[in-house]
């Protein structure tokens, strides 16, 4: 999984997996809590009461807080490790989960259990849309819901899809949803569509020199990733930035001082439209609501 995006950078460099293929099922609706910085829903596994989970499109696999996984007495299927504060390793284990997110059931999906090394009070899990592989996941943010739909022609958007970005390697699922971003200078970049990322549009700091800014860059709090903090700056870009079909005029952009961090479209922008994912075929659509 990717260690540089999403709430925990998809957390697990350590996880070998995406969700299992789901059997064809009827539509199901997941009610989203949109009041927090990231969309959350109620997760239930086994007989334990529901807990709050982030529904994170930037996570290639799901993560459970270690104490929650231990309460569930989940099977241990191998060691897992992620980088914690200062690069110190955080130990955990791989497991398989079945349950429901909101009103949508999922079966036999791989996950990791570990002490998530980020401040996420009240959060016991981060769930990847890959748990619904074999179906479509349609995030209708303005209606505060996600729908899990049969993967058929009636539910598939009729416009061209954008392939997921990244590459799978060494048994790790690294690919995540993407959206095209057209900048005022005519340059098109592929950006991760990441509901787990705070803020709006993130670009590499080097790109600031290629764009017209309305004021000088201002330092801001660093972007926190697993095992590190990345220096970041805020700048307002002059002109229209197109994120898929959505137009942003003179948007504020976060510029990340990192050469290996992908461009990201965060939750503040995504919540203005509709995001449709096909985890099986690794393709995505960003649409106007």
pLDDT at position 15 is: 44
pLDDT at position 227 is: 61
Are 275 and 139 part of one and the same domain?
A: yes
pLDDT at position 234 is: 97
CATH number at residue 205: 2.40.70.10
Residue 99 lies inside a defined structural domain of this protein: yes
Are 147 and 194 part of one and the same domain?
A: no
Contact criterion met (CB below 8 Å) for 143 and 265: no
Are 256 and 197 part of one and the same domain?
A: yes
What residues contact 95, with CB distance under 8 A and at least 6 apart?
A: 64, 69, 74, 75, 76, 77, 110, 111, 112, 113
Pairwise CA distance, residues 83 & 270, whole Å: 28
Pairwise CA distance, residues 149 & 61, whole Å: 20
pLDDT at position 18 is: 46
Per the structure, the count of domains in the chain is 2
Residue 245 lies inside a defined structural domain of this protein: yes
Are 69 and 155 part of one and the same domain?
A: yes
Residue 24: Cβ within 10 Å count: 10
* 52-100 confidence digits (pLDDT tens): 999 999 998 999 999 999 999 999 999 988 766 566 778 899 999 999 9
Determine the structural domain holding residue 234 and report its residue range: 178-267
- Compute the residue count for the chain: 289
Name the burial class of residue 64, with classes exposed (0-12), middle (13-18) and buried (19+) by CB atoms within 10 angstroms of its CB: buried
What is the reported pTM?
0.89
pLDDT at position 20 is: 44
Are 153 and 73 part of one and the same domain?
A: yes
Are 283 and 227 part of one and the same domain?
A: no
Residue 241 lies inside a defined structural domain of this protein: yes
Contact criterion met (CB below 8 Å) for 246 and 288: yes
Kindly give the parts of the chain with pLDDT less than 70.
1-24, 83-87, 117, 168-173, 225-227
């Amino acid at each position: 999984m990717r260690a540089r995006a999403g709430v925990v950078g998809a957390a697990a460099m350590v996880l070998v997996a995406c969700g299992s293929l789901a059997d064809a099922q009827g539509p199901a609706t997941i009610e989203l809590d949109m009041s927090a910085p990231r969309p959350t829903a109620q997760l239930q596994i086994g007989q334990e009461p529901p807990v709050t989970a982030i529904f994170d499109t930037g996570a290639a696999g799901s993560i459970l807080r270690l104490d929650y996984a231990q309460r569930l007495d989940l099977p241990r299927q191998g060691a897992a490790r992620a980088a914690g504060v200062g690069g110190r390793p955080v130990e955990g284990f791989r497991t398989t989960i079945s349950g429901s997110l909101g009103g949508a059931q999922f079966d036999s999906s791989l996950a990791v259990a570990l002490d998530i090394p980020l401040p996420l009070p009240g959060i016991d899990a981060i769930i990847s849309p890959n748990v619904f592989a074999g179906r479509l996941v349609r995030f209708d943010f303005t209606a505060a819901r996600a729908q899990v739909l049969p993967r058929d022609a009636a539910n598939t958007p009729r416009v061209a899809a954008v392939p997921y970005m990244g590459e799978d390697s060494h048994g790790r699922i690294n690919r995540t949803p993407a959206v095209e971003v057209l900048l005022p200078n005519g340059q098109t970049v592929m950006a991760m569509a990441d509901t787990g990322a705070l803020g709006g549009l993130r670009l590499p700091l080097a790109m600031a020199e290629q764009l017209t800014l309305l004021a000088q860059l201002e330092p801001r709090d660093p972007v926190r990733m697993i095992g590190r903090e990345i220096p970041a700056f805020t700048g307002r870009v002059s002109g229209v930035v197109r994120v898929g079909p959505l137009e942003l005029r003179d948007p504020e952009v976060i510029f990340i001082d990192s050469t290996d961090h992908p461009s990201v479209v965060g939750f503040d922008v995504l919540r203005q439209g509709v995001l449709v994912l096909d985890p099986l075929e690794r393709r995505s659509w960003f649409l106007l609501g």
